[in-house]
Amino acid sequence: MNLYITENIKRLRRERNITQERLAENVGVTTQAVSKWERGEALPDISLVLPLASYFGVSTDELLGLDAAKNEAKILEYLAENTRLANIGKNSEQFELLKIAHREFPNDWRIMEEYIWCLNYDGAFDTITPGARHTEELVRLCNRILDECTLDGPRYRAMFELAMHYAHEENYDKAIEFANRFPDKLYFNRNEIMARLYPLGSEEQMRYDRENLWRHVENLAFEIVTAANLGTEPPQEKIRLIQKALALLESVFEDGDYGVLYDSVFANFNFIIAYYYVQLGDFGAALPHVEKGFDFAKAYDELPEIARHTSYLVRGVETDMSKIWHLYEGNAVSLRLDEQEVRYGGKPFGELDEYKAIIEKYKPYAKA
């Protein structure tokens, strides 16, 4: 509330083209006092609240920022509920919530940033490919952010969503135009800058460096597997490359504390390896990787709300699992069971007794 009253005095004074000297004279204080109010170094005496409100022609609630405080609390409620719904895969409900939030607070950039992502993916989230049902509103809001918003986060999100949207429409000139607005090289991310603010070897410096290493090794592993999947190499070579990515990760997460990577990386990569062995007709080699995939998915579902790493290179790095966005309902095991049914249901590998035994073993761990 203190911050709001100081901001409101400055805003109201400027909107009415009143000097600090004139305001001070009319409410019986010094110019230095008004200056301190507006810099947030001091607050008006409580006896001045009513005279100030009367002078500016506003209610005391507006002067004190009570309405702004209530609005901020409601906005934070919307954003928290948005994260909660995304976390449990209630994506249609999430989209509807953001529609309501944007109607109520059409000028809040934080809500708009989340909303444009939903608009780009049609609110369905059954694919990572942008849709086109909300093109007009998406483009309008993204351009508004770029024209009016001074916050970096929403601006980068708007440029990204426009680039993806135009690429999906095969308007590559426009897509490249927005892609080119990103820096060719981001010399430092936030954690890298933070690491350089503290003495080398200090606890704080090491914490930020470990977070950087965690992110870099995850990205590198995904790049290796993406290159393997999209390449023209035979399945044997794809398997070899994916196993190299897993070995890289295991060298960093030496305690086996894979955290949030249990499902998105370790389960996912093992299911991909199994798929390539099935392509080769080597069902015996595929089966252990299917079981590993389910075991990692189960481990992901059993993580505590705050997953904390113990391996030396990433020791202390934490993930708040309540803030992880899932694009599916249920848990990781249920997702993987559904994927397996789509991939192998009614096919020779899916008819193996050993495969069916693995499926039955993990069914009790699935949650809708």
Per-residue pLDDT tens digits of the chain, which is 368 residues long: 445 788 889 988 998 899 999 999 988 899 999 999 988 888 898 889 888 988 888 888 888 877 777 888 899 999 999 999 988 888 889 999 999 999 988 889 999 999 999 898 765 544 445 556 788 999 999 999 999 999 999 999 999 999 999 998 899 999 999 999 988 876 678 888 999 999 999 999 999 999 999 999 999 999 999 999 998 999 999 999 999 999 999 999 999 999 999 999 999 999 999 999 999 999 999 999 999 999 999 999 999 999 999 999 999 999 999 888 887 889 999 999 999 999 999 999 999 999 999 999 999 999 98
Backbone angles phi, psi at 319, to 5 degrees: -130, 125
The rounded distance, in Å, linking the Cα atoms of 226 and 143 is 32
166 three-class SS: helix
Kindly give the pairing relationship between strand 306-308 and strand 318-320: antiparallel
Q: How far is CA 10 from CA 70, 145, 234, 270, 279, in A?
A: 20, 25, 68, 59, 69
At 90, list the tokens.
């209630």
For Cα atoms 253, 258, 263, give the angle at the middle one, nearest 5 degrees.
140
List of residues 6+ apart from 42 with CB closer than 8 A? 33, 36
Identify the CA nearest to 208 among candidates 317, 312, 310, 311: 317
* Maximum distance among all Cα pairs of the chain, rounded to whole angstroms: 90
Alpha carbon distance 108, 247 (integer Å): 44
- Give the CATH architecture of domain 2-64: Orthogonal Bundle (1.10)
Adjacent-strand bridge partners of 306: 320
Q: Locate CATH 1.10.260.40 in the chain.
A: 2-64
Phi and psi at 357, nearest 5°, equal -65, -40
Q: Could you tell me the two tokens for 51? A: 């005279």
Per the structure block, which two tokens stand in for 181? 């607005």
How many other C-beta atoms are found inside a 10 Å radius of the C-beta of residue 155?
18
Q: Which residue type does 143 have? A: N
Please tell me the pTM assigned to this model: 0.76
306 φ/ψ angles, rounded to the nearest 5 degrees: -110, 110
Tokens for 302?
């059993």
Give rounded-to-5 percent helix, strand, coil for the chain: 70, 0, 30
Q: How many residues does the chain have?
A: 368
Location of structure tokens 């994506």:
91
Neighbours of 200 (CB within 10 A): 9
CB distance 150 to 144 below 8 Å: no
Give backbone dihedrals phi and psi of 286, rounded to 5 degrees, phi first. Answer: -70, -40
Please name which of 194, 186, 316 lies closest in space to residue 259, comparing C-alpha atoms.
316
DSSP-derived 3-state class of residue 45: coil
Using DSSP's 3-state secondary structure scheme, residue 205 falls into helix
pLDDT of residue 1: 45
The answer to whether residues 318 and 307 touch, using CB atoms and an 8 Å cutoff, is: yes
pLDDT attached to residue 59 = 86
